Structure formats: C-alpha cells, structure tokens
C-alpha cells in the first residue's frame, strides 16, 4: 500500500563521480535470497558527515559508525539489511568490529575507516560467519553495480518500493551531481527497525560546512516525517562528497553554499516524502503545515502532536473532518502561553476553524470531500511569529494494525 | 468491548452524608432521551478541591469552574453529558455563566458558588434554551436520586458501563464514608471528550490538605492511565468533603491524613482502572510497571512512552512478545543518561530481557502464552533508583480503528 509512489526509473538515477558500489547476498535472514549487503567505496578525497538516531537504545553499528567518524573520513560503507544488530550489547559491537576487520583485509584498509550500517530484526546477533563467507565469494572479484537503484533495493526491509533520487545542478559554472538513496516505511514491521538515508555528491566543501549541511538538511527533511511517531534504534542519515567537482572549495556560508544546501535539501525532502508515501498501511498522504510560529521548534512540536495522535490519524483514514481532535492535539502539545483563541485551521487552503472556533464558512460536505482524496493539506496558523514547518504523515488504517499485529499470528 | 469489567452493584454504592444529587434529561443531544444532567448539592460545611486538564484547548466550563473555585467553596455542581462546550470561545463561557445564573435562581444561590462540568461533542454550542427548559420541568419539585450509580449513568458518553466505587473505613474510632463516580473510555468517540471523576467523602480536613490530597491522588491514579495518549479538553477530577464525619479536623500530614489519603487513592485507582478496562476497542488490559527509577517523573515518562507507542499497542493486540519495540519505545523516551545496558524486562514476573539483551531464560512460547491472556503485566527495571510507577493501558485493536474511524462513514 503506497500513496502515489512508484519505483524510480533507471534513466533518472545517475552515478556520482568518486563513488562506486556493489551489492551481494549474505543470507543475513536465512530465508532471504535477495542481495542484503551493499558496499560503497568512497574516493580518497571524499568527506563524510552524518546524524544518527537519538534513541537511547541505539544499535551497535550506530555506536561504531559514530566512533569511527570522529577521526578520519571513511573510505568504505557496509550496509546490511535483515538484521539491525540492536539490543545485542557488547557482543553486537564486537561483531560489527569483526566484520570491519575482515572487510579491511580485503581492501587493505584500516577497519576504522569503514562505517557499518544495519537495518532489520532487533535483539538478534549478526550472523558473522555467514557474512564472512559471503565476502569470500564476492570480494575477490568485485562486480560493481551500474545503477544505484540496485543499492536502494538491497537495503530495503519492509519497503515496498526502492527509494532513489538524482539531480544535477550548477554552482556558478560548475556542474554538481547528487544522488540519494533511502529506506524506511515507519519503524514498522515486527522487530524491524530503521530509516537509512545516504546522499552522495561531488561538490568541493569544507568538512565543517558538510557537518552543518547534514544537520540542516536532516532537520528539514527526515526529521519532519512521521509514520507512527517512533524513532528507531538504527536511524542514520549520511552525506558524503567525493570532492571531485571543479568548483572552488566552499568554506563559508556564501551564496554558493546556500544554493548547494537548497539542492541537497530538495533531494532529502524527496527521499523523506517517499518514505511517508510507502508508510505502513498508509492510505492517505497528509501535509501538516504549522505557520506563523514563534520558532521552528514550536511549529514542529505542534505538527508532530497532530501527526502522532491516533485519534487524528484514524479520522484521516475515515475522511472525517474531526476538527475537535485536531484542536485537542494542538492543546496537548503543551506549548507555553499558546493562546488557542488565536488559532485558525485550513483544509486545502479553505478555512475551517477561525480563532479556535468553527468558521462560519465551514462546510462539512466540502471538508469530507477534501479528505476523501488520497492527499490533502492541513494548515495551522498560530499567528504569533514567522516560522513555518511542514510535517508529512499518513493515516492510521486497519492495514496498519494488520501489518503490525498479524506478523506472528 | 470491556476487559473484565462489570457495572457496580447497587448495594455496594453508598450515600455520603452531606451530599445529595438528582438527575434528569435535557436532550442536550437532540436524539438522546437518557438523563444527561446531574446536579449535586453540597452541604454548607463542605469543601472542594480539584485538578483540571492541562490541555491548552480547555473547555469553557473548565475555565469557569477553575475561576469559581478560587473564591468560596461551591454549593452546587452541574454536570452535563452530550456537549463539551469546548472550542466555543467567549460565547461558551457566557453560555456556561447563563446556566449558572438560571440555576442560581432556583436555589437562591450566588452563581459563583456553582461549578459546571461538561462532556461530549466539541465545537458545538451548548443548547442553553433546552437546558433552561429542563430546569423548569425538573427543579420546581426535586426528586433526589437514591443511588449514585444513576449519577454515574447520566454522565456517560461512550462509556459502556457506569463507573462507581464506595468504601467505608475508620480514621481512629471515626467511620468515614467515601463514594466516587467517573466517566471516560479514552478521549475517544469522534468529537467526544473527557474524563470526569468525582469523589465525595465526609472526613473533616483543612482546605490546604484537601488541595494537597486531590493533586497527590490524581498523580497516582487518573494521571497513570492511558488509552490513546490524548488528554481531553474537559478532563476534571474533584474531591469534595462534607465535613460531616466526627473525626477531629485533619490539619497536618499525620498518620490520620496518610490513612485517609491511602483510602481515597484506592477509590481513585479503582475508578481509573475501570476507565481503562472500558477503553475504546480494548481487548487487553496491561499494567506497565517501571521500577527502580531515579524519580517518579522518569518512571512515568518511560511507562507512558511504552503505553502510547502504536507499535507496542498493536503487538499487545496480537499477543506478540515484540520486545524490540518495547526497548525502542524506552529508548525513545529520551531520558538523560539512561543506560540501556542496565535495563531488564519482565513479563508477568518472568525475565525476558536482561541488561538490554534477550535473556537466556527467555521462552517465546511462554511469552506468547502470557500475552494471550486478557490481562498481563510488563515490568521495566531501570536499576538506578527506588521510585516506581505503574501505568495502566490497553492494546490497539481493529476495533479501536473502527470506533474512531467509522463514526461518520
């Protein structure tokens, strides 16, 4: 069940100079025969910055990747699906290190220059021996992938569609190439975890600004989506640049940086939106805009309070313009000094609540009509500032309960 | 759908000296023919303390009741079901005041000595004229109620069972009588709101301690339940004492106070538990105990993070011991310095997770067996302090989605 989402076309996904990948199967889940490992090689000039889950129960690969990122820029990523290596304690960290050491041997590389990413079942140990065996069969003669869609496919778990986006744009006279892949459809399938997002580009940029970029972009893309309000143990978002483009190195927050940031953000937002459209049991895609807020933080808090309310989400599912639930969710967000008698609500740009009360222009018939569509937009006007945030979310359907409840039964 | 919950027996619900009530119908919802108004008369020596919803979108009657409580102790409550008088702005407050003025005329009472409580549809104006008409027919010759179960019935909205509890206990040689009624089954049925709880007793106690009592009891009863994580616009919990018992006035936090508090808390916990057992679409009743926490606050935060996770709740529904989801919900609670490698989980006192990893003693078969029961207990041991809190919650079933989605369709 996806909401207006199709797999990307091969011709639209382009290779970024300075990066190569290959993918193979290690039967991480014994039954699986699909490719479940992706290895990404990063050029020698490449730089990487990342943000990781804030879940305190964060997985072993997250801890190791964070640690390895502190020193030198990585030269290799290994991403596996099927097992999250989360809730595995010290053994989980040792397992991830073993894989890095083994992989380092094949590439004559310091294991600390390898970043691991895992997604899949929680509370199970990584099948280290099977992964090592798969290295034997696949790393002596590497078959490089030709299209990143194959990488996107290999990192899928409960996703129904691979997620990849590419873009070329200019910084002055210099052409920049950027490709992103992602996976996730909520923190979802029983014991499954993780949103993973990777963006590769070739623009020359200082490490300090790359770190700024990854945070800025994450906050305005992946951190603005919500399927079920749960942050997984393995969530990771990474931006790597090969520094292979011809532009002069960006070292300041100048026009060139702003333009780069804008374009990378477009890619990230597109990937994030695809995750929501592939959300578990989603039958609706809903944009929740919270505008004229004092600051970005309060617009996010209110947007997520609405997006995460089961009562609001079931009303979305039923195409029921249940405005009381939306107002109540806003009231529950517990913002200091929020004056609810200032609040207006719009459904697809038609006013439905004015100053905290039903608008005189409200038509229930029209509201139901609007919500019957697979996609609609809800706007909250707080009238107390200038900031705006848009949260993307889904409804809560029978299918959601089914997917999440019927796995074992 | 209730989980092991039956209506109270008439013989078990007793009148508290100093309080009288009567109930009648005002057709607040035009279609309704049931009694939807309860009026409670409080004796001249009575004292009242209350806590109200923290939802910023709080209803007109809540604003007025809060205001009236600031000055003198109230002599009358008027509680209506069918309309919450929420999201009605200034007109809502004026409507509530009109009702109080009219009611004051019949009782020769200052309207400020009347506390209004409303529960029902949001965003609709109170039918003031119909309520006034009902006064004409019912207040000239009052027929007092004989059993508080009738009062409990009149305040029901989506509740399937009236909720009332009584208890007699001794403070030294003095007998105290205490009866409580409540309504609520989540913030639930489309546009319906509200948990209301009232406890009446006759113990002599100072106003200062009564205020302390209501907060203490609310925090350990009604504030520890969660059906869908939403706090309604009208939630109110009130304790009134007639001061008619013979005990010497309690003015200190002495043994007598502690004993009184214990007994009142028992009543409140019982009422709160009934609300959960009558929770929307509930097929399971789950106790989530969080123990050995640094403080009460963090045990509540973790308990509610688990209780409010849709992923955890659907797993409860499916009798699926999905421990990864529970650990992830704990990790998401974002407690500072929480060390997840300290955490143990128990299912009905059997260890399932030890130090953040699957316990060696874990048996999936036994865990499924335990969760197949209509009631089970989950314990989280944080091993970092001495505080404990137990959150009562339900699962998230197809029926929940149905109840909340199919109202208008």
pLDDT tens digits along B112-162:
999 999 998 889 999 999 999 999 999 999 999 999 999 999 999 888 999
- For residue A188, the model assigns a pLDDT of 42
Taking the C-alpha atoms of A59, A64, A70 and A72 in order, what is their torsion angle to the nearest 10 degrees? -140
Asked if residue A149 has pLDDT above 60, the reply is: yes
Mark whether A231 and A379 lie in a shared domain: no
To the nearest whole Å, the CA of A82 is away from the closest chain B CA by: 14
Whether B117 maps to a domain, the answer reads yes
Q: What gap in Å lies between CA A215 and CA A238, rounded to an integer?
A: 10
Q: Which of A328-332, B70-74, B228-232 has the highest mean pLDDT?
A: B70-74
Mark whether A321 and A253 lie in a shared domain: no
Please indicate if any CB of chain B lies within 8 Å of the CB of A125: no
Q: Which chain B positions have a beta carbon within 8 Å of A302's beta carbon?
A: none
At A233, the pLDDT band (50, 70, 90 cuts) reads: confident
- The answer to whether the CB atoms of B317 and A57 lie below 8 A apart is no
Which among A324, A340, A404 is the nearest to B311, CB-wise? A404
**Window 372-401 of B, Cβ < 8 Å to A:** 396-398, 400-401
User: Which of A216, A249, A277 is the C-terminal boundary of a domain?
Assistant: A277
Q: What gap in Å lies between CA A59 and CA A37, rounded to an integer?
A: 17
- Which residue, among B332, B333, B335, B396, would best test binding to A if mutated, counting the most A CBs under 10 Å from its CB? B332
Asked if residue A303 has pLDDT above 70, the reply is: yes
Determine whether the annotation assigns residue A283 to a binding site. no
For A375-403, what is the mean pLDDT? 91
Residue of B nearest to A231 (CA): B332
At A285, the pLDDT band (50, 70, 90 cuts) reads: very high
- The answer to whether the CB atoms of A405 and B122 lie below 8 A apart is no
Mark whether B59 and B18 lie in a shared domain: yes
Whether A5 maps to a domain, the answer reads no
Mark whether A230 and A307 lie in a shared domain: no
Q: What is the mean pLDDT of chain A?
A: 92
Residue of A nearest to B122 (CA): A324
- Which residue, among B367, B404, B407, would best test binding to A if mutated, counting the most A CBs under 10 Å from its CB? B404
Q: Looking at B131-215, which runs of residues are DSSP E strands?
A: 163-171, 174-183, 196-201
Asked if residue A230 has pLDDT above 70, the reply is: no
| Nearest alpha-carbon partner for B61 in B74, B73, B36, B78 | B78
pLDDT tens figures, B126-140: 999 999 999 999 999
Of A157-161, B303-307, B384-388, B396-400, the one with minimum mean pLDDT is: B396-400
To the nearest whole Å, the CA of B327 is away from the closest chain A CA by: 7
At A388, the pLDDT band (50, 70, 90 cuts) reads: very high
- C-alpha distances in Å from residue B330, one per residue of A86, B149, B340: 14, 40, 9
Please indicate if any CB of chain A lies within 8 Å of the CB of B87: yes
| Full domain range(s) for residue B79 | 10-277
Asked if residue B361 has pLDDT above 90, the reply is: yes
Q: What is the mean pLDDT of chain B?
A: 92
Which among B55, B327, B397 is the nearest to A87, CB-wise? B327
Contact residues for A263 (Cβ-Cβ < 8 A; gap 6+): A167, A169, A176, A178
pLDDT tens figures, B196-211: 999 999 999 999 999 9
- The answer to whether the CB atoms of A327 and B87 lie below 8 A apart is yes
Of A96-100, A202-206, B295-299, the one with minimum mean pLDDT is: B295-299
Which among B84, B333, B355 is the nearest to A89, CB-wise? B355
The percentage of residues in chain A with a pLDDT greater than 90, rounded to a whole number, is: 74
Please indicate if any CB of chain B lies within 8 Å of the CB of A194: no
To the nearest whole Å, the CA of B134 is away from the closest chain A CA by: 27
- For residue B2, the model assigns a pLDDT of 87
- For residue A122, the model assigns a pLDDT of 87
- Asked if A74 and A113 touch (Cβ cutoff 8 Å), the reply is yes
- Which residue, among A226, A334, A404, A408, would best test binding to B if mutated, counting the most B CBs under 10 Å from its CB? A404
Determine whether the annotation assigns residue B280 to a binding site. yes
Asked if residue A27 has pLDDT above 50, the reply is: yes
User: Which of B277, B309, B330 is the C-terminal boundary of a domain?
Assistant: B277
Please indicate if any CB of chain A lies within 8 Å of the CB of B125: no
- Which residue, among A190, A328, A353, A402, would best test binding to B if mutated, counting the most B CBs under 10 Å from its CB? A328
**Window 168-187 of B, Cβ < 8 Å to A:** 187
pLDDT: is A233 or B94 the higher one? B94
- For residue A386, the model assigns a pLDDT of 96
The enclosing domain of B318 has a CATH number of: 3.10.20.340
Mark whether A267 and A299 lie in a shared domain: no
Whether A67 maps to a domain, the answer reads yes
Asked if residue B188 has pLDDT above 60, the reply is: no
At A229, the pLDDT band (50, 70, 90 cuts) reads: low
Mark whether B345 and B235 lie in a shared domain: no
- Number of domains into which chain A is organized: 2
Which segments of B308-382 does DSSP mark as H helices, in order? 310-317, 323-332, 364-372
Determine whether the annotation assigns residue A157 to a binding site. yes
CA atoms lying within 13 Å on the CB side of residue A38: 29
Residue of B nearest to A318 (CA): B405
- Asked if A178 and A16 touch (Cβ cutoff 8 Å), the reply is yes
- For residue B187, the model assigns a pLDDT of 52
Residue of A nearest to B314 (CA): A405
At B398, the pLDDT band (50, 70, 90 cuts) reads: confident
Please indicate if any CB of chain A lies within 8 Å of the CB of B335: yes
User: Which of A277, A299, A327 is the C-terminal boundary of a domain?
Assistant: A277
Tell me whether residue A194 is one of the annotated catalytic residues: yes
Q: Which chain A positions have a beta carbon within 8 Å of B85's beta carbon?
A: none
pLDDT: is B146 or B402 the higher one? B146
pLDDT: is B187 or B121 the higher one? B121
The strand pairing partners of A77, in sequence order, are A40, A115
Whether A297 maps to a domain, the answer reads yes
- The answer to whether the CB atoms of A353 and B87 lie below 8 A apart is yes
Q: What gap in Å lies between CA B13 and CA A148, rounded to an integer?
A: 70
Please indicate if any CB of chain A lies within 8 Å of the CB of B93: no
| Nearest alpha-carbon partner for B278 in B151, B183, B164 | B183
Q: Chain A to chain B, count of Cβ pairs less than 8 Å apart?
A: 224
- For residue A117, the model assigns a pLDDT of 97
Residue of B nearest to A397 (CA): B401
- The one-character DSSP state at B134 is H
For B13-37, what is the mean pLDDT? 94
Asked if residue B354 has pLDDT above 50, the reply is: yes
pLDDT tens figures, A70-123: 989 999 999 999 999 999 999 999 999 999 999 999 999 999 999 999 998 889
For B31-40, what is the mean pLDDT? 93
The percentage of residues in chain B with a pLDDT greater than 90, rounded to a whole number, is: 74
- Asked if A313 and A228 touch (Cβ cutoff 8 Å), the reply is no
- C-alpha distances in Å from residue A329, one per residue of A275, A303, A323, B301: 24, 9, 10, 18
Q: Which chain A positions have a beta carbon within 8 Å of B325's beta carbon?
A: 122, 190-191, 230
To the nearest whole Å, the CA of B118 is away from the closest chain A CA by: 15
Mark whether B158 and B271 lie in a shared domain: yes
Please indicate if any CB of chain B lies within 8 Å of the CB of A338: yes
- The answer to whether the CB atoms of A57 and B357 lie below 8 A apart is no
Whether B175 maps to a domain, the answer reads yes
- For residue B99, the model assigns a pLDDT of 98
pLDDT: is A397 or B114 the higher one? B114
- For residue A2, the model assigns a pLDDT of 87
pLDDT tens figures, B50-96: 999 888 888 999 999 999 999 899 999 999 999 999 999 999 999 99
- The answer to whether the CB atoms of B231 and A335 lie below 8 A apart is no
CA atoms lying within 13 Å on the CB side of residue B215: 6
Mark whether B314 and B255 lie in a shared domain: no
Q: How many CB atoms lie within 10 A of CB A97?
A: 17
Whether A3 maps to a domain, the answer reads no
Mark whether A230 and A300 lie in a shared domain: no
Q: Which of A397-406, B161-170, B184-193 has the highest mean pLDDT?
A: B161-170
Catalytic (active-site) positions of B: 194
Mark whether B263 and B359 lie in a shared domain: no
Mark whether B354 and B273 lie in a shared domain: no
**Catalytic choice (A23, A194, A233, A283):** A194
| Nearest alpha-carbon partner for A82 in A6, A134, A40 | A134
Whether A4 maps to a domain, the answer reads no
- DSSP calls for A208-240: HHHHHHHHHHHHTTGGGEESSSPPPSS-EEEEE
Q: Which chain B positions have a beta carbon within 8 Å of A124's beta carbon?
A: 358
- For residue B190, the model assigns a pLDDT of 38
Q: What gap in Å lies between CA B139 and CA A349, rounded to an integer?
A: 48
Please indicate if any CB of chain A lies within 8 Å of the CB of B101: no
Asked if residue A206 has pLDDT above 70, the reply is: yes
- For residue B401, the model assigns a pLDDT of 80
At B269, the pLDDT band (50, 70, 90 cuts) reads: very high
At B336, the pLDDT band (50, 70, 90 cuts) reads: confident
CA angle A254/A258/A264 to nearest 5° reads 145
- For residue B400, the model assigns a pLDDT of 78
Q: Which chain A positions have a beta carbon within 8 Å of B333's beta carbon?
A: 56
**Window 42-81 of A, Cβ < 8 Å to B:** 54-58
Q: What are phi and psi of B107, to 5 degrees?
A: -105, 10
- For residue B408, the model assigns a pLDDT of 40
**A91 sits in which H/E element:** helix A89-107
- The answer to whether the CB atoms of A356 and B57 lie below 8 A apart is yes
- For residue A192, the model assigns a pLDDT of 45
The secondary structure of chain A in percent helix, strand, coil, rounded to multiples of 5, reads 35, 25, 40
Please indicate if any CB of chain A lies within 8 Å of the CB of B356: yes
Mark whether B35 and B156 lie in a shared domain: yes
- The answer to whether the CB atoms of A57 and B330 lie below 8 A apart is yes
Whether A2 maps to a domain, the answer reads no
Asked if residue B373 has pLDDT above 70, the reply is: yes
The percentage of residues in chain B with a pLDDT greater than 70, rounded to a whole number, is: 95
- The one-character DSSP state at B12 is G
- The answer to whether the CB atoms of B230 and A317 lie below 8 A apart is no
The enclosing domain of B165 has a CATH number of: 3.60.70.12
The strand pairing partners of A83, in sequence order, are A119, A121
- For residue B192, the model assigns a pLDDT of 44
């Amino acid at each position: 069940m996806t909401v207006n989402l199709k797999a990307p076309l091969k011709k639209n996904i382009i290779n970024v100079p300075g990066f190569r990948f290959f993918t193979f199967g290690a039967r991480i889940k014994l039954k699986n025969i699909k490719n479940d490992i992706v290895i990404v090689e990063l050029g020698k000039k490449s730089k990487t910055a990342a943000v990781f889950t804030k879940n305190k129960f964060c997985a072993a690969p997250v801890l190791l990747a964070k640690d390895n990122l502190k020193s030198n820029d990585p030269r290799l990523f290994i991403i596996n699906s099927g097992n999250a290596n989360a809730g595995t304690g010290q053994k989980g960290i040792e397992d991830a290190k073993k894989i890095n050491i083994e992989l380092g041997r094949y590439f004559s590389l310091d294991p600390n220059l390898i970043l691991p990413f895992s997604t899949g079942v929680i509370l199970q140990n990584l099948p280290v021996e099977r992964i090592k065996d798969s290295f034997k069969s696949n790393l002596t003669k590497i078959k490089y992938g030709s299209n990143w869609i194959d990488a996107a496919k290999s990192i899928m778990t409960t996703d129904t569609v691979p997620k990849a986006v590419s873009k070329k744009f200019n910084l002055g006279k210099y052409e920049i190439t950027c490709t992103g892949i992602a996976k996730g459809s909520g923190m979802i399938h029983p014991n499954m975890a993780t949103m993973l997002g990777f963006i590769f580009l070739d623009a020359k940029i200082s490490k300090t600004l790359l770190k700024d970029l990854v945070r800025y972009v994450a906050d305005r893309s992946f951190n603005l989506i919500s399927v079920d309000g749960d942050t997984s143990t393995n969530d990771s978002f990474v931006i790597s640049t090969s520094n292979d483009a011809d532009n002069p190195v960006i070292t300041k927050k100048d026009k060139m940086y702003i333009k780069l940031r804008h374009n990378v953000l477009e890619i990230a937002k597109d990937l994030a939106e695809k995750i929501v459209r592939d959300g578990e049991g989603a039958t609706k895609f809903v944009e929740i805009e919270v505008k004229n807020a004092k600051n970005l933080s309060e617009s996010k808090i209110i947007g997520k309070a609405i997006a995460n309310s089961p009562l609001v989400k079931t009303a979305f599912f039923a195409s029921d313009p249940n405005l009381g639930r939306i107002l109540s969710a806003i009231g529950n967000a517990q913002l200091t000094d929020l004056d609810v008698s200032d609040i207006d609500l719009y459904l697809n740009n038609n006013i439905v609540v004015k100053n905290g009360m039903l608008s005189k222009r409200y038509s229930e018939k029209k509201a139901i009509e609007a919500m019957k569509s697979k996609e609609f937009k809800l706007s909250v006007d707080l009238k107390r500032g200038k900031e705006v945030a848009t949260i993307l979310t889904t409804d809560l359907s029978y299918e959601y309960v089914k997917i999440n409840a019927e796995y074992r039964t």
